[in-house]
Amino acid sequence: MPELSTWVGLDDTDSYSGGCTTWTAAQIAAFLRDKLLDFPYLIRLNPEIPWKTRGNGALALHVSTLGPTQEEGIKRILAVASRVEGKTDPGLVLVSEGKAPRWLSDKALRDVVTKRLLEKALSISGETGAVQIVGLRPGLPRGLIGAMAAVAHTWGDYTFELIAYRDDLTKKREEVLSDVLYMDSLTAPVTFLNVDREDGQPLIYPHGPDPVLFGIRGEDPNVLIAAHDIVRNTSRPWVIFKTNQATNEHIVDIEDASRARPYTTVRFVAYVVDKPQVLQGGHVKIFAKQGATEIQVMVYRQTGYLNRISRELLPGDKVLFWGAVRPGKVPLTINLQGFKLLSAVKWEDEKPLCPLCGRHMEKTNFGAYRCTLCGVRAWDPQIKPITRRLRQGKDYLPSASAFKHLMKPWNRRPLPAAYQFSPAYIESQQNPHKILSGENY
Ligand code: ATP
């Protein structure tokens, strides 16, 4: 008979003033070290949820069946590690023999989950196996949405993140740019988003009051451990999470832009109808249309490269846009996360030349052209080829520093097939003792 297993899901244990749900999960993972059946899972959910603290991350652990002492231990860790203040409403769930329904995870990743939907998911899970809910406030904890969604997650594309934690929260993080640059030069693109190439700033260090020292993202746990040793060769605790970060999983493809829903991230085809407008502050507004649906595409200055390159779009361009739908805006307005030029305008109209004097004619009130010197008239403009900086079929994305967790960087590449079948890689995927650093929990 196969060994029975349990899923532990948790979310919403941190607040703006500190804590981090990955740290709570790391402590539970260390406590259940011998029971871990896989990497701890860090599942990023809908980034447009307004009540998230930072990156809307939820955590799940797949472990062999727990006894009462271990269950008690987990609950103790939750109580000690959580910051029950402000809107924080920690939720932990233990699901044995059966997972939460997949639709809950899909919905939490791309849309808004209501309390009613959560209750439905809990009742379905309750039919197939035991569900134990732990909260620290009265009622059904809001953190349960993320906790259940993390347990229900089914893997498509995935990456890993090694998160190293601080031992002293009162000390400023020591950022060593030269180490990060060296690590990046040896490990990228198997690791990614280490540095912003435009301003040379490291991207692995967070700046909040949370216990994370740094996080290195990448394709291969072995390489992450090596990268960690380059950046900080000390025995701070670290954990490798398997994650849906950098996969674009949050994006919903829609054919009809008029059906875009608030708090979702959508991708659709539309035509640019006017020259992009540069607003005060350097933000760019693009007017686009899909059939009768008008769309405003906002490209904020903070998106760096995306903001600059979007100014090159021209009326008539056919473009695949993706971005977050702004609630309550008419016409439909999205905050751009990326675009791909599908079909570029290649010609532009130009005032025709006068056959007598060779000067450009002027446009008349009737839409024709006339040479103001010789009086010669012409009906049609001259057509001139345009040199475009934008390349058809290429993804245009924000600068690295403007990336959100789920956004897929341009330089992410699958590992070579030969490497994926190598013993070292297979071992790194299967051997739980490599998930956690040895000491200091
Ligand atoms: P951190 O990344 O530091 O852990 P966070 O940004 O993940 O913080 P939380 O404090 O966990 O933010 O708050 C997010 C809350 O929103 C959680 O209670 C979670 O259950 C809930 N939530 C997440 N996704 C959805 C969704 N799609 N619909 C409704 N609620 C959601």
Q: What is the pLDDT of residue 81?
A: 79
Mutate to test the pocket of ligand 1, among 15, 49, 252 (most ligand atoms within 8 A of CB): 49
C-alpha 15 to ligand 1 mean position (Å): 11
Q: What is the pLDDT of residue 233?
A: 58
Three-state DSSP state, 284: strand
- For atom 15 of ligand 1, which residue has the closest CA? 52
Give the span between the Cα atoms of 161 and 214, in whole angstroms. Answer: 10
The DSSP output letter for 65 is: P
Q: What is the pLDDT of residue 440?
A: 41
Give the span between the Cα atoms of 14 and 18, in whole angstroms. Answer: 6
Non-local (6+) Cβ contacts of 160 within 8 A are 39, 217, 218, 219, 220, 221, 224, 240, 241, 242, 243
Non-local (6+) Cβ contacts of 359 within 8 A are 353, 371, 373
C-alpha 151 to ligand 1 mean position (Å): 14
pTM recorded for the entire structure: 0.90
Domains of the chain in start order, with CATH, are 5-248+406-434 (3.30.70.2200), 251-342+397-402 (2.40.50.1010), 347-385 (no CATH)
Question: Which pLDDT tens digits describe the chain residue by residue (441 residues)?
Answer: 455 789 999 998 876 666 788 999 999 998 998 888 889 999 999 999 988 878 899 999 999 988 889 999 999 998 887 776 677 788 899 987 566 788 999 999 999 999 999 988 888 776 665 688 877 777 788 889 999 999 999 999 999 999 999 877 778 888 889 999 999 999 999 999 999 988 889 999 998 888 899 999 999 988 998 999 898 756 678 999 999 999 999 999 999 999 999 999 999 999 999 999 999 999 999 999 999 999 999 999 999 999 999 999 999 999 999 999 999 888 999 999 999 999 999 988 889 999 999 999 999 988 899 999 999 999 999 998 999 999 999 999 999 999 999 999 988 877 777 777 777 777 666 655 567 775 444
- For atom 22 of ligand 1, which residue has the closest CA? 146
CA neighbor of 305 nearest in space, from 197, 397, 407: 397
Q: What is the pLDDT of residue 83?
A: 73
Q: What is the pLDDT of residue 338?
A: 98
Most distant pair of Cα atoms in the chain: their distance: 98
C-alpha 272 to ligand 1 mean position (Å): 35
Q: What is the pLDDT of residue 336?
A: 98
C-alpha 11 to ligand 1 mean position (Å): 7
